[in-house]
Homo-oligomer: A and B are copies of this chain.
Amino acid sequence: MQRYFIDAHQCSSDAIRIEGSDAHHITRVLRMQLGAQVICCDGKGTDLLAEVKAVEGDAVLLRVHKRMTSRGEPAIAVTVAQALPKGDKWEWVLQKGTELGAVSFLPVLTTRTVVKLEAKKADKKRERWQKIVKEAAEQSHRGRIPVVEPVIRWSPLLDLFPTYDRVLFAYEKGGQPLRHVLEESRCERMLIVVGPEGGFTAEEAEQAQAAGAVAITLGSRILRAETAPLALLSCLMYAHGEMGGEPL
């Protein structure tokens, strides 16, 4: 069934009002009729099963029939921080990272980041990235829309480490095996830090570990910049029972 995210102000009592591009999607793209059912997710973990009651100009009015807990949110909150890779790889990571359950994304500038991002373009890029994440959240039946944070530099990123229960630093040059690290303890709020195509410098690795991150390796095969965060996220989710199965 089609899903849309709505804000609190769009819903009062049992009435929902959808406007803008989602309304256009309902009336013009999907051409839904009166009586058609959709799921409106409040972005905070509640799904509302609703029926199209009327179309008023550019707005669609719906009536809520049932409230349910969103099933698409993992128990562990994982943030994906990655040194901005080239081309459209970051958009891939945003989309698939959302499907896999990440709660937020931190694009980072590191020593070996190749991508240059001008300040005035940064806002537009972030808007686009947030849109990609919203669409992926809808299609994958997430209960909330992940947040794409503004681009952050290396040093401020290090300052954020203490706000997480655990920080994993993907470092093929000298990490512990992932499985050992994940089986030690459970946690609720995790940050994973992945490098650009050229990898992290030895200095960055030292700084990350000094700031509290655990360096981990993903095995003996080299993964591309856009593959690594998705593989790591899949394994994390699996270890925490989120890819089918009970938690540790």
- Chain B residue nearest to A97 in the complex (CB): B227
Query: In the complex, are the beta carbons of B178 and A245 less than 8 A apart?
Result: yes
Query: In the complex, are the beta carbons of B238 and A72 less than 8 A apart?
Result: no
Secondary structure class of chain A's binding surface, majority of residues: loop
Query: In the complex, are the beta carbons of B72 and A227 less than 8 A apart?
Result: no
Q: Which of A29-37, A112-120, A216-224 contacts B (4 or more CB under 8 A)?
A: A216-224
- Chain B residue nearest to A71 in the complex (CB): B220
Set of chain B residues within 8 Å of A222, measured between Cβ atoms: 99, 139-141
Set of chain B residues within 8 Å of A158, measured between Cβ atoms: none
**A199 interface residue, CB < 8 Å from B?**
no
Query: In the complex, are the beta carbons of A243 and B235 less than 8 A apart?
Result: yes
- Cα distance A224–B235 when bound, in Å? 17
**A212 interface residue, CB < 8 Å from B?**
no
Chain A positions within 8 Å of B, measured between CB atoms, are: 71-72, 74, 95-96, 99-101, 139-142, 175-180, 216-224, 227, 230-231, 234-235, 237-239, 241-246
The 8 A-B residue pairs with the shortest CB-CB distance in the complex, in nearest-first order: A179-B245, A178-B244, A177-B244, A234-B234, A177-B245, A235-B238, A231-B234, A71-B220
